[in-house]
Each structure stands twice: as structure tokens, then as C-alpha cells.
Structure 1
């Protein structure tokens, strides 16, 4: 044999310089946010009001309002205190109307999930999905991610284990045949007469078989394949028809006792076909495929789902690189069309080899021309009837490694399959690994979500806030603490639902639900925090500090309405919390009506307000002063004779609770 032929055989159809000579050639219960300590916080009672404690006291007195329940729910939710969060969100939902923001349905659902109330959580999740809307500002994603990140995108798709069928020699190239696994091996079978491949000192490759236990996938003892396909030279990579009566496989250019070489003295690889009758165990004499040649190699066949096309690897003229994937039609009369190159969509200037077609039309193949981790990597694409190639995906680690990974086959029904590799830690030159597919492949796509954390009222940046990216099961994926610029950025998957959560001590947190776009982009989402502990000084209006809803009186009336009672309960709670505090109650009207009437009306309403606080809240009357101001202190232009909308007039109908003393001097 020539040295070139020795080199071909030495690498057992896998590691040659040319195609024929170089054929292969990764919370709640899990990762929860650290719960912020919200036990009794020590106040400087001369300077601060704890809104959460005030709201809680009001709620426990039996007062109800959506705003009250939202804030209470949020104060627990953002601290991962989900039992209490679910309690107050539940109260919110009892009074909920269509104007409740959809995010509260989501937060309620997540709180219920944390309590393992899955059926109830699902109900609110469905309602959330009904009302949710996208409000994201997106920008065109202009930078391409680096290849390692692309490969990592599909990493973890498989669970890999080395099989017990491996030897200290080369074992590779599996194929399913009924309930058996057929593969190539150069193992020493212990036969009395051995044909040794002189370049390696190993026996030539032959086909071997093992039975697969359908119950547990265990493999039987390895035996030489009995189908009458082995010869004195190499055989490998068979592809069987569904009925098992036809096989296409790879072997040396040796047929009918004739060993042939190309013009340079290299023995090329060829495809052969063998058939058998349904009642026979053995195949008949293999026959060369008509598109073989002594001058180029054809190898590694696979059949289309309908078995009307045969795909294979070749370096025949017209190839894009060292080896390409080609296809021929299997015609009704048993003949074949001229070979067609699958084109530059799949083929490169490198090596594309070991194609395998699944029942759904996915083609797995090995390549060193497409970007990978090193050596041959396994890729997948979908091939339509028109032989149109879809996007090509690297299937990632651990299926791929820094070494050669190839000869991928899978049963799409069971999600189990086999691949071959010469990765570190193997037993022989090449080893067969069994895998289980854990998730489907996805075309690489990522969305960069970015924004800043600001104060809801002032708009100022909030350095030191914690921002978390959380998945749909309320598991924290990533967290960071923003710096002086209060900005954050997370890399997320496309077409995936997440929510962003921002928290900081002394603030009520913010959370935004969003679904990422279908294409790589940048999405900007700012997070707004509201102060939970508000600084109070003499002259401040408690109503503004607590963001009280307007205290309305019925037309020409001065009795306290139920909705006003909720707001006055908050004032009462503050005065109970700070027993030395004194306030001045100021009641105002709008300009509609006569001036003297409005003054008398505001006086009556002022007295009603003070009496309510004293009688219902138990507050000493000497802590309260106040009077009515009528329309004498309007806050806008809506004076007598000026046409204004109803909404503008209502701004003047207000009650103020100004602090005149916080503590005794």
C-alpha cells in the first residue's frame, strides 16, 4: 500500500488530511433574593414617617381601598414575604375592577405559586395574560454577539454518558436498525487470523451490533454484525431503510476482489448498497453506487424521512471545500439522479460530513467550517423538500467539545441517541456516547434589557438600588447593585417573559413585566422607586407625604363620606404614631358659588374633619387647629368668572393637614 493509503486507514475513516484521507478531519426556595429586614425599624420620630406601618394600621382597622392594598402587597412582595403579599393582593382582587394594573395579577399569581397554590395561581395568571400589554421601548440591536456566547445559547441541551460498548480501539458511527445499534469498530475480536492495518497496528474497521433494551435503553454484549457486509478492509457508517431490508454504507474502494486507487495512489472511499429479502438474515453482495469514482470519495449516507433521497459526504468536483454534503434522488425504478451539492448555506471551505436526517427533516452534521469549539462540531439545520437550508445551529456543550464530535443520531420519539467523539477522558481513539436531549434547539437570539433606577417623585437617580432579572417561575436569574449612574443591563433570551424588580431600603420597590422581542434588540426599561419612609418637617402637608386621595364631600354637604374616611384613617394613624405631633387642618373650596357661602361651607367641613379625627381616632382636640379658607387660596387660575373644567375646579377642593409641631421643644 502507498503511504497515503496507510494514512487513510490509520485514522479509521476519521482523521485524514483530505476528505478521503481525513474524514472527520446554566427566589423562592431556589436562588431567592435576600429578604430585606423589615422588623421594627427604629425611627427618628422627629424626622420620619414609616408609610408601611401606617398603611398596615389603617388596614387592620378595617378600612379598604385599592391603593392601600397595592402598597401593602408590594411592601411584602419585594421582600419575598409572599404569604403576607398574597394576603393583601387577595384583598385587592376582592375589590378589583378593570382599572387594576395587570402587573398586580402577575404578582398575586407569583405569590400564590410560592405557597404551592398552583391551581389558584394559574387562574390569576390567565387573567394577567388577558390584560397584559407590551410597553417596551426597543432599539435595533446592532452588535453581533461573539461565537462563544452563541454556542453557549444552546449548551445544556443534552445529557451525555459514555457507553459500555467502547473498546480501547476506535468505536464510532452508530446507526439504528430495528431494535439494534450498528457501529464501526477496529477492536481486536480475538480471531485466530487477524488482518492488521499496518500504519496503526490495529485491525481494520468492521461493523458490530448490540441489541437495545426498549425498557431502559441498556445495550447487550457487542457482536460482529451478521449481515454479510464486512470484508477484509474498512466498513463503517451504515444507514438502514425503515423495513431493515436495504442498507447503504461506507467502505474502501474494494469490490469483487479488486482494490483500486486514484491517480496519486490513494484508495478512496465509496458508498455501497446491499439488499435482502424479508425472510433473510443476510444481505446480498454489496453494489457500488453509480456516482462513485476512483478519483474522489463518497461516504456517510443518510436517508430522507420518505426514503426518496440519499444524502452523503463527498469531495467530488463542485464541492465548496474539503468535503461537502450532497444529495441524490432515489428514483422509482431504483436508479439515481445526478448528485446535487446542498450549497453554501450548509457547505463551507472546511469539512461538512456525517449527515443524519431525522423523521422531522432536521439534519445533523459535523463541520469544522462553521464556527465551533474546536475540531469537528455537531450542527443542526432543517432541510425542506426543496432542499432549502434553514439557519444552522451549533448544538453546544456537552454534545460538542474542543475535540472532534461527529456521527450524531437520535430517535426523536424517545429523545435518546448516540454521538461519537475523541474528547478527553475517552477509552479509545474514538468513543461512542449515549445522550438524552433535554431541550429543543433555538436559533441564537438575545435581547439586552437596560435602563436606570430613579425616584418616582423627583426623577433623581438612585445609586445602590438592587435590580434583579426574574423568570416566569419567580426564580432570580441575575441580580446587580447599580452604581453612581444607577444604570443596569441584562442579556436575555428572545420571545421569553421576564420581569425586572428594583428594591432599596426605605423605598417601595418597582417591578416591570415584559416579553422580549423575536429578534435581537436592545430594550430600555426604567425602574421607579417610591420612598417608603418620608421625611416630615414643620410646615409639611401630611396629605402630600402620604399621597392621600382627595377628601371629597357630597355637593352642599359636610358629612364624612366612606372614601374620605379611609384617607382620614391614615392621618389618625400618623398622629397615633407620633403622639406629640400637632397639625393644622385647612379646608378649601373651589370658586363656584358665592364667596361668603363657600367660606361658611369650608368652615363646616373643617369642623366635620376635625371632629372625625377626634371622635373616631381618639386624638386630643388640643393637638388640632384649623379653619375653612373658602375660595381664598386657589392653587390655579380658576377664580370667579374664569371658565375652567370640572377637573381643574376639583384641584381647589382640597384638605390640607399641615404639621405645626412634631415634638415638644
Structure 2
């Protein structure tokens, strides 16, 4: 893609400048997209005097546009070192330039320097995609990519499905079209072409389904639900371009049905709109534009519509999708948003990404579609659908090496698993006692070497969502302070399955398992009784002691004291011996069932030394009162630690 084909904002040669400042000749050439000439003029002006900071950045941009990344990087870095408050848009350009010149250490250095000013979403997106691109298991897609027959020596791009055909944009010359001076090519127009049985695009011809214009008409999207075509076009009237009071001729979005009906959908003489996409089920019209709230260059927005009538203001997709770079060409297929971005962490130029739409209308981490679909050059204008054999077929545009023209349309076929492979999990961390979500629980994903892949916390309702580069073996842990640890390891086949459903993880709160008795914290157990005069562990006692085993398995740091007590019936010495035997029996059972001896600090029998009531020797008491004194307790010695 050439940005001059996309960012088609025209400037009157006699007016605009920076605010009310008079433009230099270099400025005029720069805003005409005559970048090579602008470079020569700026260099001349530099020899004769100084350039403003804005002009220096224009010069860097001009070098960037002409692929002289070494010189653009030198200027961007110099400007950044003078003022680290450089706009995020130019900061992205700087990192792109450094990346193109293979100065990856420079990219890392300046990215770290700017980190405090960058959004959390950008930091997460960067780390995720950088690790994804370098992952050993990054790409599972078996793309079959081909250059379509309809490409010309000019720019051909932005395909869209149109009934059983394809529409696309091109600046190939045709009768009736003027020449767009900045590019030296014809104004953009829309073409239609047939699809043959192999998916190739053939027999292109000028599209007659919309009103003719001498100026730009491009990037169409056909809505079969409305039977209308959305497309961008130059603001014009009676064969003349219309300019704003600032001297701009911008691009609008219009819609037509080929039967004489046309109306502007989005129009502002000072703002250009690009790449319309209409989502019929929600009535949302997506597009790219550069408004004041843009997070960088061109951002993706949407408006709500009613049969094409705008019903809301533009809504920015936010920092999960939009970055300090340029985002364009939105396309939604099977609940996944595809778009292009020139953010610095891609493979180069514009890359195509995908992001899943969530239940709350948010977006998942953008995933780079990887080598093949993406290249070191510009890749954009992506569309996709199910083919007759239930695989996937799609098209995109690229100016990669080996094409026929400036931009070419490429087709691709793939069965499934489009793009780089990831592991995406969602669910809740819940309290096993109440089955309610636990807010701010900590989650960790570890690889088979035990290295942490990702750390995160649950939201206020205990929910989580995480996506990481795919690993063949992943251990998932969940915990919170004074809570137990959930830990389970999954292998590759299981990892494929758990992504299809919610993965809920249950943990226990220590305070739910411990209570205060006799002035000390003890593990909650239903009261149990040994057979009179015996220390045998009955099934009923075992059922309660298994709760202790479970607590220690969840809280292996706990240290315990086992203590048993008898009532006053019988001799003092005999009761002391019996209580010790009972504590010993409990200790033996716990050890045999997985509790470590290091967890048990004391094993004590107190006999009748610590009665809970007045039923001592020589005092008549009912059995129910004597039974209160017969008890065994599992005391937690480090409960507050």
C-alpha cells in the first residue's frame, strides 16, 4: 500500500500552513505528497537557515515515505533526544525506522524510555506479538497464496465480495478519469471482476453500479442485507472538487445501490474517511479516520446506523485496537475483527491482525497473522469467507516484492487456524465454599520448563481472560493471599479442548476452613467420637480427618498440633494414655494419607487435664455433658503467618 493512495487529503497550493504561519516551498511539496522534491527543498532551506521542529519532522516523514529509513531514523532520534514528548505517532515512526535498519537494540532502548507514557494495552500488545512472532509454535496455517490475474502495473487493492464477483480499487487509467497530480496516476476508481472456479479474479472492467465521477471512488464494501455499496469518494459538485475554508478536499463515505439512489453517509470537508465496513447484525458502520481523539495516526471507529442513516457519533475502538500508528481496513468475519496496522512491532509496514469480539463488546489481544499473509512491506485490505469445500478463501492487498504493480491483490486458501497460533483461556476463579467469584485472584501460566509465560489478576467478579503464544505444555495456577492454590498441567490435545469452554478454577479461603475453639485456631471438623476406651480410626473419624488432608494439600505451609482430650470418667493416668494413643492414631492416619511429618509439629494427649465444664472427678454429670469434654482438635500454629 502507498499511503498517498489512502490518505488522500488534498491541499490548495495557495492557502494552508501550520496555523497561520506561511508555508515554505518544502512545506507545500510535502503536503502535495511530492516527497522527493520536498526533501530537496527542505535541504536547501536548511543550508540557508534553520528548519522548525515541525519541518524537521516533515523531512523525517518524507525520508520515511521514500524508504530512506536510515536518514528518517537519524532525524526522529535526534528530535526524540531533544524532546521525549514527541508525539506517539512520530515515536512509532521512529521505532519503525530503527526496525527497518535492523537497529533492534535501538528499538528496545527507546521503547523502554517511553514506557511510562504508553498505554497498558500497547505494552501488552507489544510484548504479546513480539513473543508470538518469535515463538517456535507460532504458525499453524497452511496458506496457499497466489497473485490474482486481474492485477495491473498500477495500484490494485481493497477487494470486497460483491454477489458472485469481486469489487476492487485501482488507479489504472481509463477514459473520463483525471490525473491525480501527487501520484501522477489516474484518480482511483472501482472495478468489478469475475471469480473463476479456482478463486482467481479475472476479466476486470470498470464498475457501473454507482454514479460516475472524475475524481476518487475507492475501497468499496457491499452489504447484501441492504443491497447497497458503501465506498469513499472525493467531495465534489458539478465536476469540481469542494474545498473547506482551510483549503482541504477530503474523502467522504457514500452509499449507492446502482439504481439511481445515492447519499452521503459520513462527510466533513476537513476530515477524510476511509475503508467502510458495514456490520448488518448490529447496524454498525466501521471506518478509519483521523479525528482529534485519534490515538496516533488513522484510527478505526464505528457509528450506529439505521439503514445507513447515522444514529450516533463516532466511537473509537480504543487502545486495544488503535495504536500510535495507523489502523485501517476493518473487516469482521465470524465474530473476529481483521484490520491492518503499521505499529512498530509487526513484520514491517502495514501488517494484518485479528482480534476476537468479546461478549462485553471489548476486543481480545490483536494477533499478527504471520508470515505469508504479512510481509516486510504493506499488507492490508483483508477479506475472507467460507469456500464451497468448507475451507476458507480470502483476498488482501500488498506491495510486497514480486508483484505486478504498486499494490497487487493476492488470494489465499486455508482450511482453518488462520494466523499465528495462540492459547486463549477464559473463565472464573471461584471460592469453593460459596461458589462465588474471587476478585483480584492471581493467575500464572507456566511453560514446561517452569518459566512464567503470563501473570494476571481476576476482575471484580472473579473473571479472567488471557491469551498467550501457544505452548505444547502449560501449567495454570490460581491463588490469592490466604487462599489455596489451584494448579493443573495440560498437554497439547487438552489445551485445544479447554479453549472451547470456560475454565473455572476453584480455590479455598483459609478463613473458611478454620474456626476459633478454646481460644485457638483449629481446622473446622464435625465433632467425632472414638469407640469408648479405644483409639481405632473408624470410617466416620476418617471422613473428618480427610478434611485435614485436603486442607494441608491446599495449604502445605500450615503447621499443626494434634491434641486429644478425654472426659473425667476413668482413672487420670489411663485417660492420659488413651488420649495420647488417640492423637498418635490421628497422626498416623494423616501421614499415611499424604500429610508430611513436617506439617505436624506436636502430637499431644491431655487426658482430662483441660475439661471444658465442671464435670470433674466426683461430680455427677449427664452423659451429654461428659461428651463435651471428649474431643480431638487439629490446631493451626501459624494461622496468622
Scaled by the length of structure 2, what TM-score is found? 0.46
Q: Highest CA radius of gyration, 1 or 2?
A: 1
